[in-house]
Structures are given as structure tokens and as C-alpha cells.
Amino acid sequence: MADSTLDPDTAANRAGRGESRPPPRGPHKGQLTRATILEAALGLASQIGLEGLSIGALAEVTHMSKSGVFAHFGSREELQISVIREYHTRFEEEIFFPAVREPRGLPRLRSMFERWVKRVSVEVDSGCIYISGAVEFDDRPGPVRDALVAMVRTWHHALQRAILIAIEEQHLRPDTDPTQLLFEIHGLILALHHDARFMRNPGAVERAGAGFERILRDHFGPAAPAARAAPGRHAAKAR
Amino acid sequence: MADSTLDPDTAANRAGRGESRPPPRGPHKGQLTRATILEAALGLASQIGLEGLSIGALAEVTHMSKSGVFAHFGSREELQISVIREYHTRFEEEIFFPAVREPRGLPRLRSMFERWVKRVSVEVDSGCIYISGAVEFDDRPGPVRDALVAMVRTWHHALQRAILIAIEEQHLRPDTDPTQLLFEIHGLILALHHDARFMRNPGAVERAGAGFERILRDHFGPAAPAARAAPGRHAAKAR
């Protein structure tokens, strides 16, 4: 589980892992089948949780035989871990890679947060595997829990690096504590997921955005870009 | 589920509900048995989740017959709802009732938050039924979910009332948005639960406390008691 992605440098290596990515000369049938099963597994896990995943349930959903599914994923555990990795890959592609193309400092950090919020708000109807998985596996030691923790930690490290760069760029004050900032930002995401998905409260996306901007304002450095003054992308979204 | 407690005025009515409270002249044997089962159910639900509760599992833990347990809780659903109510009653007794004895305004709000943090940090080894239940039942409509939402909403209303009183007392600025404040404070609690229980990160309690004080500072009104200047109970705890 030391497979630390979420780093542009390692993106080139991903094809080498051969996971759910077709090789350049077109996929084999076996890989296509694996991708189909994984797609179904991801959908199932989002709805009923990683613990609800089983070879049997997947066979039913994909109209395959149990032994057919089993040929691609040797165990329920392997299936769960593959789903976590696939989820992580998509999370990277949707949130991390577009965000690191933004300028260093607050623009990049804001982009990471906004894309994260967007993803969680899309997931209100399906559920976030990271957040639900954390509750499902918080007291179940083993390789599935380890995989989940490793993926969440990788994402948190990426956010912390973005915060550190924002400090370097003097967008945030030099005495900003990146771990504390990350903790508070993550809390906003968890509150958004809870309020939107469980309580069905309206306005949670806006509240998460307002909380984020307030946290940033408390830590603005001398070179902080005035994103709230000129109504940019974020301001338009949060109002 | 309109059973809105968390209000000192209705505390007197609780005995009338006859739930897990012995009547003045000493409990009947049936009530003792019910309390014993409920105690075991609460422990079980904290560990394996509300969904893991079953008449069979409880019979095993309590060394009773299934029909014995069934005589007290007619269905699994009734059992789950009783556990939620019992959890809520204890939550009230541990957090809400002691806190409302504190002076109006920030002292009371701080006490509510600190006791909440303390409870969640004690629950790191067992799990919080409110937080885990929210994930378990976020997409399972029905009376159990309704009971959970009602209990969480009751507690959130109590917090919002405490925030409103702090505004009245001019401890917080008049333009403070109670819903926004509650959202952010709740986020800190969720991040604490996530980091301490799932990630096993050290320092989460201190980070929740630091986040809370930063939120308050951003909203201090003209009469805010200077709790951070003179190292009081909270400052001592958060460092």
C-alpha cells in the first residue's frame, strides 16, 4: 500500500501498474471484462458500502457467472482493494491533476478544495467511498482498511503540500500550521457530506465554501491574491 | 420522533416516558431486564454499528433466550430505535444538562463543545452512534433513519440556541450566522472522529479545540469573555 500516487511525477508510471488502464495497442478482452466488473463494483460499493461487495452480488449485476468474476478477482478482499484503487485513480483524475495545473499557492489550493466540494456534492446521491469506508472500516484491521487509510493519507499529503506551497508563495502567513489547516478544511468536507447526504439540509455547499474562505482569510499572507474582491470563479459559485 | 428533549423544561417529563429510568419505588424485574438488554445493545451497536444489531446476537451476549429478548423488543427496528433513544438520553446527561448550568453565552457554548469533544475522544475505541449511524443510514429511509435524524437535529438545535444566546449576550457579533457557525463546529467534531478513530492521528483533540477557538475569535462581540488571555480550563486542555 506504499503506492503513493497523487503526484504528477508518478503519473507516467501508472500505465506500468496495468490497472484498469488499456495498454497503448488496445485492450485485451480480459482487461475489458475486468474493467466492466470494476465499474459495477464501484457503483455497488458507492451505494451499499465496501462491506456490501461480494463476488455473488457482482455476478448478478454484471450477468456473469460467479466463477467468471472470481477469475478476475481472486477474493472479496482483492475486489474491495481494487475498488478503492480505482476510486482513488478517478479521484486523482477529477480533482488532483486538473488542480495542479493551476498556479502555485492559493489558486491551486482553492481549485483542489472546490473540485473536492463538487465531487462530494455529486456524490450526495451515491456516497463517498472514502468517507463511508472510514466509518465501515475504522475498527476492522486488515488490508482493506490499510488500503483505505493509505489512499486518504496520500490525498491529505497532497493537500498539505499545496498548503506549504501557498506559504512559500506568501499567499498564507509563514506561521500557518498546515496540519491544522488541513484538519479544518477536511472538517468542512465531512460536514458537507453529513449535512447534504444524511440531514438533507439545503445550502451545505455554500456553507463549506464560506467556511473555507474564512479559514483562508485568517491566514492570508502579504502576497495573497484577492480572490474575494474580484468576483472570480469561486465567488460566483459560493453565492 | 417529535420527542424533542435536550431542553431543560422537558427534563421533568422524561420519567413519564418510562424508558430505562427506574420508577421512584424501585424497578420491576422486567424493567431491569430491559435495561440490561439495552445496555448490551448499546455496547454492541457502538462496536459493530446499528445495522449489526439483531435479536439473536443480543440473546447471545446477554445469555438470554431469543424469545426472552423478543419479549422486550418486538422487532429489530424497535430495538435499534430504543438504542438510539438511550444513546440520546446519555448524550443529554453527559453533555447538555451539565453545560446548560454554565453561564449564558460563550461559557455555555464552550462547555457544550468541550464536553462533546471529550465524549468523541472517549468514543475513539467504541465509535459514536450518531456519526456511524449517519453513514449507515444515509440512504436507508425508514423509522430508524428518521429517529437518528431527529436526535441529531435536536442536538444541533440546542447548539444553535446556545449560539443565539451568545449573540444576545454580545459575546458573539450580531451578524454571526448561527447555521454557518454550527456547520463549522460540527465539521471539527467530524474531523476529530475521523482522524482519531480511522487515521489514528495524534493531536486531533487539540486541533479541534484550536479550530473552535479560531472560529470564536472571528466572531467575538464587544462583551466576549477573554477566555484565551487568562489560561482557563479550555486553554489548559488545548495545549
The tens digit of pLDDT for each residue in A32-78 reads: 888 999 999 998 898 888 988 888 889 999 999 999 888 998 889 99
Q: Which residue has the higher pLDDT, B131 or A237?
A: B131
Task: Find, in chain A, the residue whose alpha carbon is nearest to that of B186.
Answer: A191
- Cell numbers standing for residue B77: 427496528
pLDDT for the residue numbered B139: 83
pLDDT for the residue numbered B7: 53
pLDDT over 90 (residue B226):
no
Q: Is A190 close to B191, i.e. CB distance below 8 A? A: yes
pLDDT over 60 (residue B15):
no
Q: Which secondary-structure segment (H or E) carries B10? A: helix B8-11
Contact residues for A222 (Cβ-Cβ < 8 A; gap 6+): A170
Contacts of A184 in chain B (CB under 8 A): 187-188, 191, 207, 211, 214
Contacts of A190 in chain B (CB under 8 A): 187, 190-191, 194
A139 touches chain B (CB under 8 A): yes
Contacts of B138 in chain A (CB under 8 A): 127, 197-198
Q: Which residue has the higher pLDDT, B25 or B125?
A: B125
DSSP state of A50: G
A52 touches chain B (CB under 8 A): no
Checking phi first, is residue B35 left (phi over 0); if not, alpha (psi -120 to 50) or beta?
alpha
B189-223 pLDDT tens trace: 999 999 999 999 999 999 999 999 999 999 999 99
Mean pLDDT of A83-106: 96
pLDDT for the residue numbered A51: 85
Distance in Å, alpha carbon of B46 to nearest chain A alpha carbon: 11
Whole-angstrom distance, CA of residue A20 vs CA of residue B111: 51
- Cell numbers standing for residue A176: 500557518
Task: Find, in chain A, the residue whose alpha carbon is nearest to that of B191.
Answer: A187
pLDDT over 60 (residue B148):
yes
Distance in Å, alpha carbon of A28 to nearest chain B alpha carbon: 37
Whole-angstrom distance, CA of residue A193 vs CA of residue A191: 5
Q: Are A95 and A116 in contact (CB under 8 A)?
A: yes
DSSP state of A25: T
Q: Is A179 close to B207, i.e. CB distance below 8 A? A: yes
Res. B170 pLDDT band, cuts 50 70 90: very high
Contacts of A136 in chain B (CB under 8 A): 135
Q: Is B138 close to A198, i.e. CB distance below 8 A? A: yes
Three-state DSSP class for residue A220: strand
A140-169 pLDDT tens trace: 899 999 999 999 999 999 999 999 999 999
Mean pLDDT of B224-228: 71
Res. A10 pLDDT band, cuts 50 70 90: very low
Among B151, B175, B183, pick the best mutation site for testing chain A contact (most A Cβ within 10 A). B183
A180-201 pLDDT tens trace: 999 999 999 999 999 999 999 9
A198 touches chain B (CB under 8 A): yes
Compute the C-alpha angle B130/B1/B109, nearest 5°: 50
**What is the C-alpha end-to-end distance of chain B, expressed in Å?**
40
A108-144 pLDDT tens trace: 999 999 999 999 988 887 778 889 899 888 888 999 9
Instruction: Work out the burial of residue A214: count CB atoms within 10 Å of its CB; fewer than 13 is exposed, 13-18 middle, 19 or more buried.
Output: middle
